[in-house]
Amino acid sequence: MARGRKPIPKTQREISESLQEPFVPPVGAPGFQSTGNPNNANGVNRAEQTSFKGDTVKPLSIGIQDLDESVMYYFQNVIKPFVIQNGERIAVPIIYGSPEKWKSFQKDGYYRDLNGRMMAPLIMFKKNNIEKVRNLTNKLDANSPNNIAVYGKRYSKQNEYSKFNILNNVKKEQTYYATVVPDYLNITYDCVIFTYYNDQLNKIIEALEYASDAYWGDPERFKFKATISSFSPTTELSDSQERVVRCALSITLYGYIIPEIPQKDLNAVRKFSNKNKLTFTLETATGDSEVFNTTVERASTQGGGLSSIIDSPNIVNNITQGGGVDTNTLIYLNTNKALQATTVSAPNVATFPSTFLVAPTGLPPTNSNSFSFYVNGQLIEPNAITSFVEVSGNSVLTVNTSNLGFVLQSTDEVVAIGKFA
């Protein structure tokens, strides 16, 4: 009697899905399939998802705390308020007005430490109002944020800078990042300055007034424009009370936020690559010519959406076979010779020790379009080439220095690649 097969235990996912009750969402509900449990979706193509593992660029997220920290950073590291007291320079402490601290200030008119002494000099600020700005950009729909901003990463481990790639016109894959447009906000901060004397208060007011209408924040993170419209200094001196010298002001910060929430990533593209092209040129076999031209274009994404940016993989193969192509034509088509200029004459002439290879009958004549030119490894664009002609057994290149952006020097290395004899 054959032994029964050992049962295979269910995976954690299978156990979890068996306990879930399928949900039929309302018509038009975002983030769900048309029917059934969204966790059972099988239409996700993992090949079209690009991971952020090992990438130094992470999904962009800016919160309200980043705006608060930009104000604190600018106070502590840029304005650096100070007062002169008893002949000594004293840095003014800056604190954020938590509800308990702000209540203490409203009750007594100034802030006390744990021992009951008045804290001065001191600057305390807190958030008072957040107002949404609607006359700037809009992400259209928070549940389907397809209005995005795209920026590229010029070089990476997969796309390293190389002079060899420049000389051979090799363009590697470039990575692009996309994020939803931010929500713009005007945030108002209430700020109070405490000092012992009016001259101390005046110095701090002067420093803050000078810093108004500047961009506040850490240069390595985010900076936001801040404005201060008015100052309200007050001096109070009454019987059996401590002298109070303070100034109230409002700081308006023009900021923006991109919160880290699931709705942001439902349909928004997060990371994708440009199209790669692979081309096979002319090949020959037994006297017959066979042209095999393959173009492979692909783009990888994470998150899906934005069909205008992401194209599906497209492979086009064109095979043409024929006979009767003479050897001279094949030699001409496969010639791609590199020569360095023997003479470089300032400001715009370079001479190469060879003539043009004569084009066989039926092909366009050889001219400057049959060559590529480089100066110290930098490609010379076609609009910077005035002429390239044969002169007394040599080939002479003349460039337009205005379009080139610089003049040639006798020490420059000028290289031409093309159909030399």
Confidence of residue 279 (pLDDT cuts 50, 70, 90): low
Question: For residue 295, what are the CA distances in angstroms to 240, 276, 281, 315, 321?
Answer: 89, 9, 11, 6, 18
Between 311 and 134, the more confident residue is: 134
373 C-beta neighbours (distance < 10 Å), count: 23
What is the distance between the alpha carbons of residues 385 and 29, in angstroms, rounded to a whole number? 59
Which stretch of 167-176, 210-219, 282-291, 411-420 has the lowest confidence by average pLDDT? 282-291
Question: In degrees to the nearest 10, what's the CA dihedral of 404, 410, 412, 417?
Answer: 80
What would the pLDDT profile of 124-171 be if each residue is shown by its tens digit? 898 989 999 988 877 767 766 667 777 777 666 666 767 777 677 766
Predicted structure pTM score: 0.49
Total Cβ atoms within 10 A of residue 192: 22
**Nearest alpha-carbon partner for 79 in 169, 203, 196:** 203
Instruction: Evaluate if residue 208 carries a pLDDT over 50.
Output: yes
| pLDDT score, position 207 | 92
Q: Which domains does the chain have, with CATH numbers?
A: 64-134+182-257 (3.30.2000.40), 148-176 (no CATH), 275-325 (no CATH), 334-418 (2.40.10)
Give 71's pLDDT tier (boundaries 50, 70, 90).
very high
Q: What is the mean pLDDT of residues 291-298?
A: 44
Q: What angle do CA 257, 260, 265 make, to 5 degrees?
A: 110
